Amino acid sequence: MSKVVASIMCADQLNLAQELTDLTDAGIDWLHCDVMDGVFVNNLAMGPYVLGPIIQTKRFTTDVHLACVNPEKYVEMFAAVKPDYITFHIETTNDPQGVIDQIHQAGIKAGIAVSPETPVESIFPYLAQLELVLMMTVNPGFAGQVFQTAVLDKIKRLNQELAGNSKRPLIEVDGNINCETSGAISQLGADLYVVGTSALFNNQLGTYRDKVLALEEVIQ
């Protein structure tokens, strides 16, 4: 069953407690938690001191997305707050196997993220050891970018590679995910649809529940 996942970076940071309540009321039970170092991407977000209390509520399944160089350092840092998943970028390390092992040794599920310009084949050697693959449909770093349709072919290629595998990681998509773009993705196959500014945390009419229901109708 496909799920709508909220990008908590895009929520109202001055009212996070209320935002979490509103997301729960809307039927959201997964959070995508962006961590950015200002090096791999030209932006900063979100520290363990912010994400720790959110994770510790146990109200959500949490995926910490490390858009950071030296992911080993950040795995150690965020493993302490016990998210369900830690996802790192294949582009940020020369030792993906070592990072996967580090995440698993901390008792956390491992994911690899792939930026739009990176060949999806680069992660194929690791698929059997992953619980999640994050396909970025925009360049990581900022919300509100244009959806890169070329990534659709990469999602198709990934699903072809996974066909018949005894172990299949969840496929998560992130980047200007809305009713239009998620419709194209759902035809190829994805499990988790990360939504942020464009489809959920905006000033358009409708409650969070209205927006989630509209997305769920498209992706199911």
Predicted confidence (pLDDT) per residue in 112-146, tens digit? 999 999 999 999 999 999 999 999 999 887 776 78
- Rounded CA gap, 106 and 174, in Å? 25
* Burial of 197: CB neighbours in 10 Å, binned 0-12, 13-18, 19+: middle
Domain boundaries, the chain: 3-219
Pairing of strands 30-37, 3-7: parallel
Predicted confidence (pLDDT) per residue in 183-220, tens digit? 999 999 999 999 998 899 988 878 999 999 999 999 98
Catalytic annotation present for 22: no
* pLDDT recorded at residue 144: 67
Say yes or no to pLDDT of 168 above 80: yes
* pLDDT recorded at residue 1: 79
Catalytic annotation present for 191: no
Active-site choice (29, 34, 37, 153): 34
Predicted confidence (pLDDT) per residue in 46-59, tens digit? 999 999 999 999 99
Predicted confidence (pLDDT) per residue in 100-117, tens digit? 999 999 999 999 999 999
Say yes or no to pLDDT of 29 above 90: yes
* pLDDT recorded at residue 203: 81
CATH of domain 3-219: 3.20.20.70
Active-site choice (12, 29, 37, 174): 174
Locus of tokens 């895009």: 10
Q: Which of 172, 192, 202, 201 is nearest to 29 (CA)?
A: 192
Predicted confidence (pLDDT) per residue in 73-84, tens digit? 999 999 999 999
